[in-house]
Amino acid sequence: MAAPPPPRALAAEPRRAPLGAVGVSLPRPRGRVRSAQPREEILRGYRQLISTNYNSRSLLCHPCSCAHTALADTRIAYEPEVDKHTGVLAYDLVQGSLVQWNSFTDKSIPDPPTAVLLHGILGSRKNWGSFAKRLAQEFPMWQFLLVDLRCHGDSASIKKRGPHTVASTARDVLKLIVQLRLNPRVLVGHSFGGKVALSMVEQAAKPLARPVRVWVLDATPGKVRAGGDGEDHPAELIEFLRRMPAQVSSKQEVVDALVKGQFSVDVARWVATNLRRNTPIGPRSSSNFSWTFDLNGISEMYNSYEDTNLWGVVENVPRGVHINFLKAERSLHRWALEDMQRIHTAEELAADEGGGVEMHVLEDAGHWVHADNPDGLFRILSSTFRIETTIRGMQD
């Protein structure tokens, strides 16, 4: 069965031009999709496009206090329901206000630049929601693909063959990219997602454009040194959750159990966000909550995260690939001196081979960098999108 086309705006309202831009508001082009299916059938295959409107406001970028003007009308396109029957991961596509769907309508218009954002273990695509919208406001020509990795979020209901590893997770994302006919310019992965991004580079040929910039947020390419000095250890957390009932009466019940089990309150509350309310059966039954992920599969994924070694990609960077590592100042992971030295050595080698490796440090942040210091992370990542936008403008 042929892969379905990506979601598109079915009846978008006229868009406002960016603040400060010269000219008037332009309606979004609406073309026809080439398909053998009747138009009504195509329309039924997609969820309604949701438009999220933001009040224009000035965002102050600490510590430089430079003003960023937020753009209005960021859009979120949701995945087609039919994808769930073809093994595609659940995803959201957050689009800047200047993005135009054109892959199936007008090939004279260049495809919009795309960034893929990948979450970590026990996370979901929602972890990146607010941050992606902020990026889309600042870079309105870009679109951002937010993915639920296998065994997580809405993708947990999509049965995947084992083994559940970093490599198999990377293949899932590559397959999704191919089916959506996207050519990502940027890959951003947090923790486990960082190793997935590196594995995508290791495995990919055509699905990834060149140049491609990879951001590995608070993860090393090799040995994982998680937990220590009283910090929560992910493997212990996963095993604790596996021993809990599949259904609980409330989120607070989970928080209390985790705190009693010596896990931090912040982690307990974060884990509880992965509970979904069940629909009551019958008039007298009470609703309860169940997990939105497959804990058995996630346990296997975390073991793979600890075992997977991707130093080969970093120390032999393919031409046209630029890998950025970001270490959180208060990282949950223990960055060994040997890791830092090895990355710095790789920087010198990559520069001689037409690739790139860089090391960054995010101050005032723990392991959950996009929650602990979103302004600092935004400031660091923004350089990538400005560079890529400039390159794109020169090519066009």
Look up the domain containing 283 and give its range.
234-305
- What are the backbone angles phi and psi of residue 157, rounded to the nearest 5°? -85, -5
Point out the domain boundary residue: 249, 273, 305: 305
Residues 173 and 290 in one domain: no
Q: Provide the pLDDT confidence category of residue 92 given band limits of 50, 70 and 90.
A: very high
Residues 288 and 317 in one domain: no
- pLDDT one-digit tens code per residue, 377-389: 999 999 899 876 6
125/243 same-domain check: no
Q: Are 273 and 330 in a shared domain?
A: no
Asked which of 267, 290, 305 is the last residue of a domain, the reply is 305
Does 25 have pLDDT greater than 80?
no
Residues 295, 369 share a domain = no
Q: Which of 37-41, 68-72, 107-111, 388-392 tops mean pLDDT?
A: 107-111
Q: Flag whether 19 is in a domain.
A: no
Least confident of 76-90, 269-283, 297-311, 366-380: 76-90
pLDDT at residue number 29 = 35
| Any domain includes 48 | yes
Q: Is residue 219 part of a domain?
A: yes
The pLDDT score that the predictor gives to residue 219 is 92
**Most confident listed range (193-202, 230-239, 352-361):** 193-202
Share of the chain above pLDDT 70, in %: 68
| 210-234 residue pLDDT tens | 789 999 999 999 988 776 555 678 8
Which CATH number fits the domain that encloses residue 149? 3.40.50.1820
Could you tell me if 257 and 317 lie in one domain? no
Query: CA-to-CA distance for 162 and 140, rounded, in angstroms?
Result: 38
pLDDT of residue 155: 95
The pLDDT value recorded for residue 260 is: 94
Give a yes or no: residue 275 inside a domain.
yes
Residues 149 and 255 in one domain: no
Domain presence at residue 296:
yes
Q: What is the pLDDT of residue 136?
A: 96
Q: Which of 305, 320, 338 is a domain's end point?
A: 305
- 371 part of a folded domain: yes
Res. 286: pLDDT tops 80 = no
Render pLDDT for 236-273 as a digit per residue (tens, 0 to 9).
999 999 999 988 999 999 999 999 999 989 889 989 98
The reported pLDDT for the residue numbered 311 is 95
Same domain, 130 and 240: no
The mean pLDDT value for 324-335 works out to 82
Output 395 or 53, whichever has higher pLDDT. Answer: 395
Say whether both 64 and 207 belong to one domain. yes
| pLDDT higher than 60, residue 395 | no
The structural domain count of the chain equals: 2
Residue 20 lies in a domain: no
> Does residue 298 sit in the same domain as residue 314?
no
Question: Do 109 and 201 belong together in one domain?
Answer: yes
Q: Are residues 71 and 89 in the same domain?
A: yes
12 against 385, higher pLDDT: 385
Tell me, what's the pLDDT at 299?
A: 95
pLDDT of residue 297: 95
At 144-186, the pLDDT tens digits run 999 999 999 999 999 898 899 999 999 999 999 999 988 899 9
Average pLDDT, the chain: 76
pLDDT, residue 382, reads: 93
Q: What is the pLDDT of residue 125?
A: 95
Q: Is residue 264 part of a domain?
A: yes
- What pLDDT does residue 84 have? 38
